[in-house]
Structure 1
Amino acid sequence: MAQPRSKAQLAKTALKLALLKYNPIGMETKLIVAGSALAIVIILIFTAGIFSMFSSPDDGSSGNGIGVGTGPASVSPEVTQYRDAISNELAKYDMEGQTELLLALMMQESGGKGNDPMQASESKCGSIGCITNPDESIQYGVKHFVSVFERAGKDIKLTLQSYNFGSGFIDYVLANGGSYTKELAISFSQLQYKKLAHTGIYKCHRPSAIEHHACYGDIEYVDAVLKYLPSAVGGNSMKLTEGLSSPVDRDLAINSRYGYRNIGGGLDHHDGLDLKCDASISINAAFDGTIVYAGTSSGAPGYGNFITIQHEATVFTTYAHLSKIQISNGATVKSGQPIGMCGNSGRSTGPHLHFEIKTQQWGGYLDPTSYLF
């Protein structure tokens, strides 16, 4: 079937027909007809442009380059209760398309708890604690987000990191290439921490922050927010199943699944799978790769003894709560090779393996279930 032609193509056809029709007439008539047809083409193109401007409002909800799919954010009930309030506030800026992103942001900021669930006091009055109710928090949190979003050129990742760091990060990025990268987030945090470490206000809360001496703000903030959105890691395109070995030397059985759970301290996101094993069970590399971490970390005390393997540029697995580590940093391992022993180290209530699949060493968590079962 022939494809429908655009208005511009139809106008060009009309021009050709007009010239053929008036061929017996002089050149002057041809020029008049051609000029009239050209004017029609210009008017049609201009009208189409105006129509597209009004029919396709840009709220940043598509084409953001972060691989976020459609569907609701995976957030706690405490956050979900604010969905309508956030959507209504965003509607004032014609940005309802960012509702799920703002829910994910709130989840990272507070889990929906407290009087300032969007942690927006500093954006309102420059200090913590001046906002005393959730409605006000959402009002100023959304206002701050929209302001940063516009300044960041509607770059979602730059917007998120600047919500955490402050808008000074936007200027820093614009002066260093113009686009958000994790490396720029780290270097900005390092610079700011160096200036402010003497105040004692800032502490390293993540292993990656300790590793890089980047303790101003949260250098993992972008991934921490996006993990609550569907397909926030580029459509879950990672393929580990082929050539995958069981990480435990026994039949696989799940003690605790990936996702939200409450084990007595409130609702919390479990970033991996807990697999059943005991102290006699060997822990194996799930795939070929290189050991990028083997030991314990003060930034991740709950893991106890753990190992992280890099398999590809954006494919990592982590094995935690080990009783014994049998491999060293930098070593190359094969799929199925023993790397440690099942244990109960760190924050654990009994022997098991906490197993993670992710797109970064310290973030970008995926549900391992679909790769193992």
Structure 2
Amino acid sequence: MVDFDVLIVGGGIAGASLGAHVAGRRRTAIIEMESRCGMHATGRSAAFWLESYGGARVSVLSAMSRAFLDAPPAEFSDRGFLRSRGAVHLTRDELPVLPPGVESRTVEREELERLVPGIRPEWQRALLEPGCADIDVAALHAAYIRKFQREGGSILPDAKLERAAYANGRWTVRFSNGSEVSAAVVVNAAGAWADQVAEACGVSPLGISPKRRTMVQLRLERGGLRDLPLVDDAAGTFYFKGESDRSVWLSPHDEIDTDPCDAAPEEIDVAIAIDRFEKVVDWKIEAVERKWAGLRSFSPDRAPVYGFDPDQPSFFWCVGQGGFGIQTAPAASQLASSLLMAEEPSPGIDVSAYATTRFAINSSASATA
């Protein structure tokens, strides 16, 4: 049986980025149930860095990740992972309130028409967030995987965790193919499958909820769309952004409850996305070029979770990243590694905001209310 100090379950952006920080100091493996890492949420992301997204607790991690994404250390990459785009938050009513410190300004109709040519007349104003940028997700994930492997980390593909037992200070982990490994610590970075992994390890689930998100690539009659800003509805019913000269990526901003699975788009959700898009701009659609879906996984309070389980101190949670796991990966992985390695976290982070114990506290409070 092969022995590890740290066994990370899941090779998406959460597991890969954490592993890159830990592998050089602990004998570490990433186990991945698919044939390669990052096939689900990470590999299907239309990721952008949007500081306002996800609320105050997420915004802190996003802001702290920006410098790395702009200019990563040479050990990760010789170029940045961002491409500036800007975001336009449309509204028919009051302008949205962004988290403190997020740069923004009001845009009235005349400027709005320049930013989004062909926008329909009922959209009169918006909030511009100039810092929004595309993230090269594949390059970022690959950089973390390379760093992990250079530091001596092992990747075990096609390794679905079937069950794990803890005894005498170590986990014995059995895979569906019958093989086994042992580890001192199991890290749950399994995304939509996080609660299933916990139960297989005899640990109480946190209530991680997978949600399906639909994406559509449209080819349009007009050109000049590649540098279009990210355009979203402040009410959260759509977003779209330029992809190529004549195509956009569009989502109905759906969050549909689902079991952990290889997500696929539903035709009704594609139709809803297109209907909402046509109510924003007068651009003629020539074709649906692609459609896909991915899973976003949320904790009960929609903030990520980093830390050891309160009832099993050799089981570490790194889950609940929702749709913001990629834009927060640099700061979140540093936070998670510091907690895992019993080191001081970066200044400016309230560790309790991401702790597993907050759910137990909330449950106790509800029971006595």
Q: Tell me the TM-score normalised to structure 1 length.
A: 0.24
Question: Whose strand fraction is larger, Structure 1's or Structure 2's?
Answer: 2
Structure possessing the higher relative contact order (Cα contacts under 8 Å, 6 or more residues apart): 2
| Higher CA-based Rg | 1
Q: Per residue, is there more helix in 1 or in 2?
A: 1
Q: TM-score, normalised by structure 2?
A: 0.24
